[in-house]
Chains A and B, each alone.
With several copies, the nearest count.
Chain A
Amino acid sequence: MPEKIIESCSVTRLDILNEKGEADQALMPSLTDDHLRELYEMFILARTFDHRALNLQREGRIGTYAPILGQEASQIGTAYALDKTDWIFPSFRENGVLVARGYPLYMILQYWGGDERGIKVPDHLNIFTISIPVGTHVLHAVGSAMAAKYRGEKTVSMVYFGDGGTSEGDFHEGMNFAGTFKLPVVFICQNNQWAISVPRERQTASKTLAQKAVAYGFEGIQVDGNDILAVYSAAKAAVEKARRGEGPTLIECFTYRMTDHTTADDASRYRTKEQVAAWEAKDPLLRFRLFMEQRGLLTEAFQKEVDAVTKQKVDEAEKMAESAAHADPSDMITYTYASLTPRQTKQMRDF
C-alpha cells in the first residue's frame, strides 16, 4: 500500500497558424475558400465596428465601451463553429461574436448608448442578453444546456468569459454542473492576460486556465487565441463533441487585450509599452491577412469590396442608432413584470 498515482491529466495547446501566416497543414480545419473569405469579412467588420464604437464613445455619442481589439480571432473563430440553432451567452466584451452572428450593428450601438432596446435580441438569433456581472452567465449557459438535453434538442450552448471570470464562484458552480450532468456546453475563456489592471498571474496560480477543467472531470484545452484557424478548429471539435452528447469542454483562448479595458480605463497605468508592443506583433489580423494572401484569397478587389461593404454597414449602423426615437420613459416600468402591479400603475401616471 505505498503512495501511488491514482489520476493523471494533461493540458494540450493547439497552434495552427504562425506569425508569418503559415498554417500547419496536418492540423488545418476543413474550411473552404468561401468560408475563409467569410471569416475575413467578419474579422474586418468586427474590427472596423469596434474602432467606430470607440470613436463614438470619445465623441460622447455612446457611453462606456469595452473594445475587443486583439480578440477578434478568439471571438469569430469560436462563434463560427456553431450552428444557427445553437445558443450563445456573451459577456460585455463580445462584439466580435455578435458581429459574427449577424446581430444588428445599430442595436449594439444603441445598447452601449444606454438604451435597452438595443439588447432586445431579435427573435431569430439565439443569443442571450449581454451579461455584465462577471461569471454569472456561465450558469445561464449551463441551464440552457440542461434545457436542451431535457428536450432532446441537439443544440449546443457556448458561453464567453475572461481570465478574471474564472475566479468567480459562479464559474466554478457552472463548470461543476456541466461536468456532473455531462451537458452540451462549450466554455470559452478568452484569456486576454488582464482583468482590468490585474495580470493573469495574479488572478490564479494555475499554469494554464485550461487545466481548471481537471477539477470538473472534463477536458480543457488551450489554443492560440490570435490564430483564427486554431480557435475555429478547437471550437468545432468541442461543439461536435457536445452535440454527440459527450459533454462539455473548456477552451482557453490565449490572447491579449490590445487596448484599454474600457473607455473608462487607462491601461498605461498598469502595464508596459513593451508588453503591448510584443503582443501587437502577434495581432491576429496580421497573421490571418498573411495567410489569406499566401493562399491567394486576398485580392485587391476582394479587399476593396470588403472595405466598402464594411464601411457601409458601419455607417448605416451609426445612422440608425442615432436616428432612433428616444425611448418612452414609461418603458422602464412596463417591462418589470408581464403586467403592471397596482402600485406601478399608479406610478405610471407620472408619464
Chain B
Amino acid sequence: MAKLNMVQAINLALKEEMQRDKDVIILGEDVGRDGGVFRVTEGLLDVFGAERVIDTPLAESGIVGVSIGMAARGLKPVAEIQFMGFIYPALDQISSHAARLRSRSRGRYTCPLVVRTPYGAGIKAPEHHSESTEALFCHMPGIKVVLPSTPYTAKGLLISAIRDPDPVVFLESARLYRLIKEEVPEGEYTIPLGKARLAQEGKDVTVISWGAMLHRCLQAAAGFSADVIDLMTLNPFDEETIYSSVKKTGRVVIVHEAPKTCGLGAEISASIAEEAMLFLKGPITRVTAYDAVLPLPKLEDYYMPTVERIKKGIEEVLKY
C-alpha cells in the first residue's frame, strides 16, 4: 500500500469516484491544466478531459451557483473554492439555495454537491488565505460540514461526501496537505459522515478537535491519559461519541483555530452542558484563537492555539 499525503489521498478519491461515476464533475478556478494551486486535482484533466474538469471564470458565487443547477439536474459536482477566504461570495448560494433545495421542494429537487476548499492558518500566506470559519457553515441546516485530519480519513470521507445526497462543505487543512504521509489503500472505502474517531484513548480528560489542531492536541495530550476525539464531521457532529467519552472522563477541552466567540467549540460545549453536565467534574475549557482578525504570517503563530496552550488547558481541567 502506498504512503500518501493528504493532497495525494484526496486526488485519489476524486479520481476513483470519477472513474466509478460519470456524473461526478470537478469545477473551479485553476483546477484543470494547473491542477489546482495546491495540485489537488493534478492529472485529472488529462484522464477525464475538460468536460469533467472545468476551469471556470473567476467567480465563486458563480462556481457554487452553477454547481447547484448541475446537482439539481442529477450531476454530482465537486466544486473547488481556491481558499476558504474566498468562499464568502458563495455563501448566499450555499445557504439560500444548496441548503434549502430539498426542503423548499419537499424532496423534488436535491443538491448532491461537494464544495471543497483549503482552510486554516500556519502556511505563511497572504491575507484571506488562512481562514477557519467552519462554524458559519455548521449554523446552516441542510449543509453538512466535513473536515479530515489525516490522508486516510480524507479519502474515505471525501468519497462519502461525494456520494452523500446532500450538500457537503469539505474543508481541507492547507497546513496538513503535505505534512503527514500514511498508508492509503487504493480502491473503494468510505468513512461514514456524522461519526467521530477516537484518535487516542484515555480516561482522565476528553480533548475534542479537528483538522490541523487535532495533531497539536495529540502532541499536547501525549503525557496524559486522554481521549482525543477527531470530530471529522462537524455538522452534524457525533454527539454520542462525545458524551460517552465525557461521561467517562468528566473533563473536557475543546480546541480549534477559529476565534473563540461563536466558534464550533461553543456548540460542543453547550451540548455537553445540556446532555452530560452532571458528569462534569469541572468547567469545560475552550482553547481557541483570539477574538481578533487573523494576522498576517509574522503573528499567526501567536494567534492559533499552541501545543503549550493546549497543554495548559488540559492541566487546568485536570485540577478538578
Contacts and interface: CB of A to CB of B under 8 A. Distances in A.
Contact of B86 (A112, A133, A173, A331): A133
B34 A270 contact: yes
A90 interface: no
Interface stretch (B107-115, B152-160, B200-208, B277-285): B107-115
Contacts of B166: 337-338
B299 A195 contact: no
A332 B35 CA distance: 34
Interface string A314-327: 00000000000011
A112 B52 CA distance: 36
A337 B102 contact: yes
Contact of B290 (A112, A113, A180, A344): A344
B62 A174 contact: yes
Looking at A64, A112, A113, A133, which has the most chain B CB atoms within 10 Å of its CB? A133
Contact of B30 (A142, A148, A198, A337): A198
A196 B80 CA distance: 15
Given A63-B126, A136-B92, A142-B69, A335 B302 contact: no
Given A114-B296, A176-B59, A336-B142, A146 B66 contact: yes
The CB with the most chain A CB atoms within 10 A, among B35, B109, B303, is that of B109
**Which 8 pairs show the lowest CB-CB distances between chains A and B?**
A143-B69, A139-B65, A114-B297, A173-B62, A197-B34, A143-B66, A341-B236, A140-B69
Interface of A: 63-64, 87, 92, 111-117, 119-121, 123, 128-129, 131-148, 150, 157, 164-165, 167-170, 173-174, 176-177, 180, 195-198, 202-204, 264-265, 269-270, 326-327, 329, 331-333, 335-338, 341-344, 347, 350-351
Interface of B: 25, 29-30, 32-35, 37, 51-52, 55-62, 64-75, 77, 85-86, 89, 92-93, 96-97, 101-110, 124-129, 141-142, 144, 164-166, 194, 236, 239-240, 260-261, 290-293, 295-300, 302-303, 309
23 contacts: A113-B297, A128-B109, A133-B97, A138-B65, A143-B67, A147-B73, A150-B75, A164-B58, A167-B57, A168-B59, A170-B93, A173-B57, A173-B65, A197-B32, A198-B57, A203-B57, A327-B298, A332-B292, A332-B299, A333-B290, A336-B292, A338-B164, A343-B291
Given A129-B101, A168-B89, A327-B299, 15 more contacts: A112-B126, A129-B109, A132-B128, A134-B58, A136-B97, A139-B65, A142-B65, A150-B70, A173-B62, A180-B57, A195-B58, A197-B32, A269-B35, A341-B194, A351-B302
